[in-house]
Structure 1
Amino acid sequence: MENKNTRSVSSFNNELKLKGFNVFQIESDGNATKVYSRKDFYKICLTTGKSKIHYADKSFEQEGTVLFFGNPHIPYSWETISTTYRGFTCLFSEEFLKISDRSESILQSPLFKIDGTPVLKINQQQKENLEAIFEKMLQEQASDYTFKDDLIRNYIHLIIHEALKIEPVKDELLQMNASARLTAVFLELLERQFPIETADNPLKLRSAKDYAEVLSVHVNHLNRSVKEITGKSTSTHIQERIVHEAKALLQHTNWNVNEIAYALGFEYSTYFNNFIKRHTNTTPKAFRS
């Protein structure tokens, strides 16, 4: 059980937060997954092996070398099937990359959009070229060069541009109806917003409209689908999850009520107090005590 202190964050997460990026090599010795809980980072993976990738409402089963692009706002999961697996992963924040209009347009490319295709099949020549770029990123990350961040940004841009020239793989839709697919994506996206790790990084998606915009659907369509599948409205799911997180923060951190209110996206602590009282019949302070 967590002690009554600020939630612990791994050294890897701290390094990510400080630098805004991290690149590492994936090996098949059980270290194929780097555990990190930061949810505001884009991800590029170059991997060789057999795997199944679930991205939003799509599923890709691939063998060989693939290049994958992950958007922090779009739910995805990765199943490693083969016993041997290797490659590279680069994580970076939007703030790290977005220093120009050019960067903003790249993040809006089909590689990162929910209706795009984030998985690319890579041939041997492309693999060698991309591996060389990742190797250079690793070298720069470990160097003391003053402008290494600029170099790493350029390498990320280079990978993205190389990917835009490659034809995407065909996707195989999960066997669900449209409402079930959309509901599954919404619920996974909702869960990805938590836990809240720091009081200075407030919850960004708080309403049904916020989620609909990220998922590129009309809010009424999202509401109808979620209600049809779960029997609850989109707003009810969001509110219940915020209440659950508020209870955890009140019980397991030393943040004051104002900090918790801000972290959960409430402009004023009085709004937060009223919200908690309405859903729990008690105030935040009374619940904590």
Structure 2
Amino acid sequence: MHEARCGLSNFNRRDKFKVVLVLEGTNELHYANRSYLVDRPALVFTNRLIPYAWEVPAGFHEQQGYLCCFSESFLHSSMRGVSLKDLVLYKVDGNPVYFLNNEQVRYFTDAFTRMRRDLESDYAHKEDLLRNQLSIIIHEAARLEPATPQHAAANAAERITALFQNLLEVQFPITAQLREPVLKSASDYADRMAVHVNHLNAMVKEVTGKSTSTHINERLVMEAQLLLAHTDWGVGEIAYSLGFEYPTYFNNFFKKHTSLTPLTFRRARVPATQ
């Protein structure tokens, strides 16, 4: 969290949640399938599950301000069990931009200045101070009037498809047993994206030539192959970690898509030690 330029990169599956205090400059924020012209002081919230990009219009300079990156787990204890996904600031269909008047600019600048001071201090409990200050910023922002998008992105189908693909990728890799994907079906993804499942399927099919379910199944097969080849987990453990209720369901799914059983695939990829 530091004073910095606000020219943020495109979506990265390992990115954190971000809060940006824009103080000066002009950029256009492309967020999911909407665009916002941020040409005055504003608070901007970006969700690690949503593809976004900052674009500097011709003739303008990149913005100046403060940037704070954090994980949901970092903030969890100070928000008293409130999940970020339940806050309008981080909903896929929410508005990420909040324009500020002069009084609000002073308030949030003071807040970010205190956070930077605490971060650079040697105080043993500075993380608690940072957590509390960040929680206050989020709650204060929730009381603001959100900005209205300038326009829907012209390439809405591409952006919706990119959002789906990024949400799919963020479910993986599976790094711990019994840690199953949160989103499993096309309907799950559509609900998270606040679109009708038929609309999602139509957009994904238009851009990629494949259905939403085909993409999900292909990614599950890829992850199953990686787990079979590079872990010593049992087939049942892999099945549960991928969200299958019973190992037999996983066996049937894997064989349908690869023509091999999971054990046959594993033996072919990982020969027994002589």
Question: Structure 2 length as normaliser, TM-score?
Answer: 0.73
In the alignment, is the contact (CA less than 8 A) between 1:250 and 1:287 conserved in 2? no
In the alignment, is the contact (CA less than 8 A) between 1:26 and 1:32 conserved in 2? no
Instruction: Report the AA paired with residue 34 of structure 2.
Output: K
Instruction: Report the AA paired with residue 218 of structure 2.
Output: E
> Are positions 1:157 and 2:157 aligned together?
no
Q: Secondary structure at the match of 2:215?
A: helix
- The alpha-carbon distance between structure 1 residues 136 and 221, as it changes in their structure 2 partners (threshold 3 A), is same
Instruction: Report the AA paired with residue 39 of structure 2.
Output: E
In the alignment, is the contact (CA less than 8 A) between 1:32 and 1:86 conserved in 2? no
Q: Tell me the CA shift for residue 145 of structure 1.
A: 4.1
- The alpha-carbon distance between structure 1 residues 144 and 106, as it changes in their structure 2 partners (threshold 3 A), is same
Deviations 1:71-101 (A, max 9, x none): 334x222235366544333333334434477
> Are positions 1:277 and 2:255 aligned together?
yes
**RCO higher in 1 or 2 (8 Å CA, sep ≥ 6)?**
1
Tell me the number of residue pairs that the alignment of Structure 1 and Structure 2 aligns.
260
> Are positions 1:175 and 2:154 aligned together?
yes
Q: Tell me the CA shift for residue 249 of structure 1.
A: 4.8
Mapped partners of 1:145, 1:35: distance in 2 = 33
Mapped partners of 1:264, 1:130: distance in 2 = 42
Q: Tell me the CA shift for residue 174 of structure 1.
A: 0.7
Mapped partners of 2:90, 2:126: distance in 1 = 25
Mapped partners of 1:211, 1:137: distance in 2 = 35
Mapped partners of 2:208, 2:13: distance in 1 = 27
Aligned residue in 2 for 1:58: 34
Instruction: Report the AA paired with residue 4 of structure 2.
Output: E
Deviations 1:170-209 (A, max 9, x none): 21211246x6664443234223434x16225542212112
Aligned residue in 1 for 2:176: 199
Aligned residue in 2 for 1:8: none
In the alignment, is the contact (CA less than 8 A) between 1:97 and 1:103 conserved in 2? no
Question: Structure 1 length as normaliser, TM-score?
Answer: 0.70
In the alignment, is the contact (CA less than 8 A) between 2:45 and 2:97 conserved in 1? yes
Q: Tell me the CA shift for residue 55 of structure 1.
A: 1.6
Mapped partners of 1:264, 1:280: distance in 2 = 16
Q: Tell me the CA shift for residue 155 of structure 1.
A: 1.0
In the alignment, is the contact (CA less than 8 A) between 1:110 and 1:117 conserved in 2? yes
Q: Tell me the CA shift for residue 104 of structure 1.
A: 2.1
Mapped partners of 1:274, 1:43: distance in 2 = 41
Q: Compute the RMSD of aligned alpha carbons.
A: 3.7
In the alignment, is the contact (CA less than 8 A) between 1:51 and 1:80 conserved in 2? yes
Aligned residue in 1 for 2:48: 72
Q: Secondary structure at the match of 1:235?
A: helix
Mapped partners of 2:12, 2:246: distance in 1 = 31
Point out where structure 2 has 5 or more consecutive residues left out of the alignment. none
Aligned residue in 1 for 2:269: 288
- The alpha-carbon distance between structure 1 residues 197 and 34, as it changes in their structure 2 partners (threshold 3 A), is farther
